[in-house]
């Protein structure tokens, strides 16, 4: 169960839901700003993103149901609807989101890789913010490091902190790289690789996921598949999606300001996480 914050009319509002909403909203706004900056149809992009958010939530839930606790949900089907109790698989969201995006952009004759690139930084910061509200903790610490968090008398690795700090770094890299890509789709490819490396690192400290061959879990396998697929995709798409210099937006020169903003976000998120828990 995630951290409850308050009640409204008998309904409990949880930290996880609030942070997911803030993360989704932040990513959505950034993606629309990028669409406008790149001269894309903002209305079409906005409509696409709304559908993508819905599909991502459904895919994330189904990914968890099918991968982590299939027998339980098969015998308790109504429990599938209880997203507020936790249980989302980010790889399920990625698969569902990519499949839906391919269908949508073909139907409306949009450039899939351009849309994917403008969404990549928003996805990164949305994941970072959303992870703050997650209450999945890691293995017990072998020694009492000062950043450990005590749960039921044990000092555990705060894997949420590890992941959102890595996600903020990923966001910074993508944000600074967005004006320097050489082909449409490059930023999204970087996102897929970067995210799955982050997740693989965190997975060594995270408890609860099914093991394949210790210490590797099913999430490690999923991450390896995504990285391999991204590298294969990059090999092919860069041949046909090269960006000419006159197509590139004006590059941002606010490098130092971007660093300050990301460092502040990392600090505020960390302090907030420890305050809540």
For 198-259, what is the HEC assignment? HHHHHHCCECCCCEEECCEEHHHHHHHHHHHHHHHHHHHHCCCCECCHHHCCCCCCCHHHHH
CB atoms within 10 A of CB 103: 11
Per-residue pLDDT at 189: 96
Residue 72: per-residue pLDDT: 80
User: Quick one: pLDDT at residue 234?
Assistant: 93
Q: Which residues lie below 8 Å from residue 258, measured CB to CB, with a gap of 6+?
A: 172, 175, 176, 252
pTM for the predicted model, two decimal places: 0.87
Q: Which residues of 202-222 are buried (b: 16+ CB within 10 A; e: fewer)?
A: bbebbeeeeeeeeeebbbbeb
Tokens representing residue 32 in the block: 């629309």
The residues of the chain scoring below 70 in pLDDT are 1-3, 9-10, 83-86, 244-253
pLDDT tens across 223-258, in order?
A: 999 999 999 999 989 877 777 554 555 555 677 889
pLDDT attached to residue 200: 95
What pLDDT shows up at residue 28? 94
Question: What gap in Å lies between CA 227 and CA 256, rounded to an integer?
Answer: 30
């Amino acid at each position: 169960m995630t951290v409850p914050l308050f009640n409204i009319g008998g309904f409990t509002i949880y930290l996880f839901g609030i942070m997911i909403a803030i993360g989704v909203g932040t990513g959505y706004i950034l993606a629309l700003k990028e669409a406008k900056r790149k001269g894309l149809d903002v209305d079409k992009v906005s409509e696409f993103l709304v559908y993508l958010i819905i599909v991502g939530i459904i895919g994330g839930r189904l990914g968890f149901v099918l991968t982590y606790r299939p027998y339980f949900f098969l015998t308790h089907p109504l429990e599938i609807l209880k997203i507020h109790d936790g249980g989302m698989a980010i790889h399920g969201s990625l698969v569902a989101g990519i499949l839906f995006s391919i269908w949508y952009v073909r139907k409306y004759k949009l450039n899939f890789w351009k849309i994917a690139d403008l969404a990549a930084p928003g996805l990164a910061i949305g994941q970072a913010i959303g992870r703050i509200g997650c209450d999945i903790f890691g293995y017990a610490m072998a020694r009492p490091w000062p950043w450990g968090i005590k749960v039921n008398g044990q000092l555990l690795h705060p894997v949420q902190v590890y992941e959102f700090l890595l996600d903020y770094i990923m966001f910074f890299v993508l944000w600074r790289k967005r004006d320097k890509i050489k082909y449409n789709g490059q930023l999204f490819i970087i996102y897929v690789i970067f995210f799955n490396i982050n997740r693989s690192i965190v997975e060594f400290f995270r408890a609860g996921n099914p093991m394949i061959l210790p210490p590797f879990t099913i999430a490690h396998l999923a991450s390896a598949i995504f990285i391999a697929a991204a590298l294969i995709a990059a090999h092919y798409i860069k041949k046909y999606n090269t960006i000419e210099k006159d197509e590139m937006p004006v590059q941002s020169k606010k490098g130092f300001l971007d660093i300050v903003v990301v460092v502040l976000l990392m600090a505020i998120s960390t302090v907030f996480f420890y305050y809540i828990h």
